[in-house]
């Protein structure tokens, strides 16, 4: 099966999903979300696939929601693209967690917004030294979604999550490793090979035990995740209806600093 915004390949027993909108930094639009859902479903149903790699084409892993798509609604119904996109996006997050095969995020470059949560939902994260992480939502007058408010505190703790949330720093791969956000940092030219090495090792392992182990881990958080995804969906829709969001989006496209008013 072929998709327009995803390149899908099976190498030995590893399913490789590559988000393929490099000119848009693999920003999430309706089509990419639908293709990711379909690719994950293929991985779920194909018994030959025993582990999965998720990565991005070009210079970015995933920059988050497509702001050009959001811009089209700015004078019509600003929350609507988030209302529609999060229905698909939340399905992807849940599918990554529910699929009974380990998923490795091979982070090849910039990670922002929804791409951040997409990576955190994966079981393992290997990042190139060129990777940069930024939650980015709050600087645009929005709030994180995709389970970010569950994954981030579990990985880095409450205090560091507050720092990421309110100061919105750009952190590099080494910093991400130091705070426990990711598992490993590699040279850019080694990323694909090492991600495949990890995936192959997992694929050659006791896949039934891995499936049970992942399900047991999920049992401690899936109920919370389902609730959190819906709360975050409602939160980003509400934030997208504020004047600060309109200002943040306008400032982004006008390449200037935002002037927020708190409304």
Query: Does residue 96 carry a pLDDT above 90?
Result: yes
Work out the percent of the chain whose per-residue pLDDT is above 90: 78
pLDDT tens string 7-56: 999 999 999 999 999 999 999 999 999 999 999 999 999 999 999 999 99
SS3 per residue for the chain: CCCCCEEEEEECCEEEEEECCHHHCCCECHHHHHHHHHHHHHHHHCCCCCEEEEEECCCEEECCECHHHHHCCCCCCCCHHHHHHHHHHHHHHHHHHHCCCCEEEEECCEEECHHHHHHHHCCEEEEECCCEEECCCHHHCCCCCCCHHHHHHHHHCHHHHHHHHHCCCCEEHHHHHHCCCCCEEECHHHHHHHHHHHHHHHHCCCHHHHHHHHHHHHHCCHHHHHHHHHHHHHHHHHHCCCHHHHHHHHHHHHCCCCCCCCC
Quick: pLDDT tens for 165-188. 999 999 999 999 999 999 999 999
pLDDT surpasses 70 at 232:
yes
Binned at pLDDT 50, 70 and 90, residue 255 comes out as confident
State both tokens at 26: 């693999």
Q: Which residues pair with 132 in a beta bridge?
A: 110, 172
Residue 1 confidence (pLDDT): 66
Per-chain mean pLDDT for the chain = 93
pLDDT above 80: residue 73: no
pLDDT, tens digit, 9 for 90 and up, residues 197-212:
999 999 999 999 999 9
Set out the domains of the chain in order of their start, with CATH numbers.
6-190+202-209+223-254 (3.90.226.10)
Q: If pLDDT is split at 50, 70 and 90, which confidence band does 213 have?
A: very high
List all residues 6 or more positions away from 134 whose beta carbon is below 8 Å from its beta carbon. 111, 112, 116, 168, 169, 170, 171
């Amino acid at each position: 099966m072929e998709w327009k915004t995803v390149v899908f390949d099976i190498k030995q027993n590893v399913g490789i999903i590559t988000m393929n909108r490099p000119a848009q930094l693999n920003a999430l639009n309706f089509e990419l979300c639908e293709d990711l859902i379909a690719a994950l479903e293929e991985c779920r149903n194909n018994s030959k696939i025993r582990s999965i790699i998720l990565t991005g084409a070009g210079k970015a892993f995933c920059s988050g929601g497509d702001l050009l798509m959001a811009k089209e609604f700015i004078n019509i119904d600003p929350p609507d693209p988030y209302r529609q996109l999060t229905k698909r996006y939340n399905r992807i997050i849940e599918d990554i967690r529910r699929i009974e095969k380990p998923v490795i995020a091979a982070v090849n470059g910039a990670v922002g917004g929804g791409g951040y949560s997409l990576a955190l939902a994966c079981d393992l994260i290997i990042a190139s030294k060129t990777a940069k992480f930024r939650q980015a939502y709050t600087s645009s007058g929005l709030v994180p979604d995709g389970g970010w408010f569950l994954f981030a505190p579990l990985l880095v703790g409450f205090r560091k999550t507050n720092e990421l949330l309110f100061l919105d720093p750009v952190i590099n791969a080494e910093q991400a490793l130091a705070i426990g956000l990711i598992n490993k940092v590699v040279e850019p030219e080694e990323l694909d090979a090492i991600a495949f090495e990890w995936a192959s090792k997992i694929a050659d392992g006791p896949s039934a035990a891995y499936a049970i182990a992942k399900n047991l881990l999920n049992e401690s958080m899936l109920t919370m995740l389902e609730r959190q995804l819906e709360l975050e969906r409602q939160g980003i829709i509400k934030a997208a209806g504020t004047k600060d969001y309109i200002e943040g989006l306008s400032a982004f496209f006008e390449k200037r600093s935002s002037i927020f008013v708190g409304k």
